Structure 1
């Protein structure tokens, strides 16, 4: 093989290796912390007379999996929730969520929904609907 061809092959090998390293680092680095949730504390509030704003805590694996599925579906980093995803309204439903992780760290999310408690294909609406169902079961 001629020296020029060897140089081209060597440069191509370095570039390909760098791309593979970059792809692997990006994939591994974006691994979600959602899977390490050990407990969830939540409360909901609404400016309606008689609305129960009681706080509830769960470590139920199926409930944690349900919330994790929603966060994963919408690719939400629950440790840095982007509140601009919330609905913009007054008098809606507020869900305060504190997540406990296996490493003893916590994360807090405040989710605002314009009050409709059905999943509508967004992280905010799906989360509000989920926690509304839980609240009905826990208050019941």
Structure 2
């Protein structure tokens, strides 16, 4: 029977690769821990009761939400921010389009959109943002509304 011996270089390279993968996994874990993820979920029901035989009453239901992600700083000061919006009727809309209140998502069963995306570079003396940004004031905020 012939003995096989692994070259020392192969063992060293394998150990170095395993250590590198472990360090990258730890860095990625720290990146996600320092990133900020939040959101909101809302349930809406609207109805329009016209009280006339000429105009049918209309109603609509929507389960809606927003998911916001702001990454941890990378490459010495860059961050990325993204907001995704979705609304879904969950199959509750009328089959008659005239009976659907179109102020939520129209006559479709769902609507999805990327509501915000930006790239930010920040240092103690400078902050620059490029991309779409949400208006967020006491009179026009990110919460509620149709």
Q: TM-score, normalised by structure 2?
A: 0.33
Which structure would you say has the larger Rg?
Answer: 2
Structure (1/2) with the larger strand percentage? 2
Higher relative CO (Cα under 8 Å, sequence separation at least 6) belongs to 1
Q: TM-score, normalised by structure 1?
A: 0.34
Structure (1/2) with the larger helix percentage? 1
